């Protein structure tokens, strides 16, 4: 019986898989799920080519090809709880909510529709109104950790930690986060996004809170773009900002919700 092989890539890791006989999609997916420790069921695992297009493979699939794994994220519940179940008390920790950014207040009362119960930010279904929001507090000294529940962010969106100065308007200069859906993609998507801000050591890290893993972020130093898992904070005081396209498009439908009304105790798996 002929021995065949394929090269499988997942999250930048290459794994050669050899098999006897014809290509069997279910068998290969099961092997991929086990090797890469993928929690999602087989129905959420797809094959892609190098262009990101979904591949429909059958037993005639030739040996030696390279395929890429795409795992479809779990759907976000329509009415998820805005509270994380944590053992530690979150009393005496910094609490905050969304407020409209000063430089877009000219849209008037219509902007108020984008913030629901102060903690969930969505955009209104109006092509002329794309208001951004910021945190009601600034982060200046100490260490902070909070979690945001969100949709996958796409084009014309931003979620970032940026400088907070008097009369400052949002720009990418010295900002840290996700811009226009990059580097977030289907594989890196975090439904519950943890943000760790260490103002004592001037660093910021984004986490997939559910998987307890770091995720890639963009950061700008003098408008030079960089990508990595940890970014240096150049400002003495920073704020959280978000910008979504109009309702129902590119991550705006579910919005971005501040869980537990702000900061929670820093998890042990971050400080250890």
> Tens digits of per-residue pLDDT, 117-126?
789 888 765 5
Per-residue confidence (pLDDT) for residue 104, from 0 to 100:
46
Q: Torsion angle, CA of 217/120/39/218, rounded to 10 degrees?
A: 0
Per-residue confidence (pLDDT) for residue 11, from 0 to 100:
79
Per-residue confidence (pLDDT) for residue 272, from 0 to 100:
52
**Which of 147-151, 154-158, 230-234 has the lowest average pLDDT?**
154-158
Condensed to tens digits (0 to 9), the pLDDT of residues 35-68 reads 988 888 888 899 988 877 888 888 889 999 999 9
Q: Is 50 exceeded by the pLDDT of residue 78? A: no
- Find out whether 48 and 67 touch, Cβ atoms under 8 Å: yes
Please report how many Cα atoms fall inside a 13 Å half-sphere around the Cα of residue 200, on the Cβ side.
Answer: 3
By residue count, the chain amounts to 272
pLDDT-derived band at 170, boundaries 50, 70, 90: low
Per-residue confidence (pLDDT) for residue 154, from 0 to 100:
77
**Which of 73-77, 85-89, 159-163, 188-192 has the lowest average pLDDT?**
73-77
Q: What is the mean pLDDT of the chain?
A: 81
Q: Is 70 exceeded by the pLDDT of residue 15? A: yes
Per-residue confidence (pLDDT) for residue 108, from 0 to 100:
46
Q: Is 60 exceeded by the pLDDT of residue 19? A: yes
- Give CA–CA dist 127/207, Å, rounded: 32
Q: What is the CATH T-level fold of the domain 98-271, as seen in this structure?
A: Jelly Rolls (2.60.120)
Q: In the block, which residue shows the tokens 């065949």?
A: 4
pTM: 0.66
Domain ranges of the chain: 3-71, 98-271
Condensed to tens digits (0 to 9), the pLDDT of residues 214-270 reads 988 999 876 678 889 999 998 899 999 998 876 544 545 578 999 999 999 999 888
Per-residue confidence (pLDDT) for residue 188, from 0 to 100:
60
CATH of domain 3-71: 3.10.20.90
pLDDT-derived band at 109, boundaries 50, 70, 90: very low
Name the percent of the chain lying above pLDDT 90.
34
Per-residue confidence (pLDDT) for residue 89, from 0 to 100:
59
């Amino acid at each position: 019986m002929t021995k065949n092989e394929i090269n499988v890539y997942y999250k930048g890791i290459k794994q050669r898989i050899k098999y006897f006989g014809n290509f069997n999609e279910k068998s290969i997916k099961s092997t991929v799920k086990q090797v890469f420790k993928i929690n999602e069921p087989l129905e959420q695992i797809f094959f892609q080519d190098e262009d990101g297009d979904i591949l429909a493979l059958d037993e005639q699939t030739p040996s030696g090809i390279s395929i890429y794994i795409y795992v479809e994220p779990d759907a976000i519940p329509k009415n998820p709880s805005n509270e994380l179940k944590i053992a530690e008390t979150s009393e005496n920790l910094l609490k905050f909510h969304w407020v409209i950014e000063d430089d877009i207040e000219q849209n008037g009362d219509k902007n108020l529709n984008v913030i629901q119960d102060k903690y969930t930010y969505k955009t209104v279904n109006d092509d002329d109104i794309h208001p951004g929001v910021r945190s009601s507090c600034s982060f200046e000294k100490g260490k902070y950790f909070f979690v945001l529940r969100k949709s996958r962010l796409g084009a014309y969106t931003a979620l970032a930690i940026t400088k907070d100065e008097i009369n400052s308007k949002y720009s990418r200069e010295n900002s840290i986060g996700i811009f226009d859906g990059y580097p977030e993609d289907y594989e890196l998507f975090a439904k519950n996004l943890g943000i760790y801000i260490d103002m004592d050591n001037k660093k910021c890290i984004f986490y997939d809170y559910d998987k307890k893993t770091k995720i890639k972020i963009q950061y700008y130093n003098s408008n030079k773009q960089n990508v990595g898992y940890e970014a240096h904070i150049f400002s003495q005081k920073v704020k959280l900002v978000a910008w979504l396209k109009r309702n129902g498009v590119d991550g705006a439908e579910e919005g971005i919700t501040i869980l537990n009304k702000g900061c929670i105790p820093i998890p042990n798996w971050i400080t250890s």
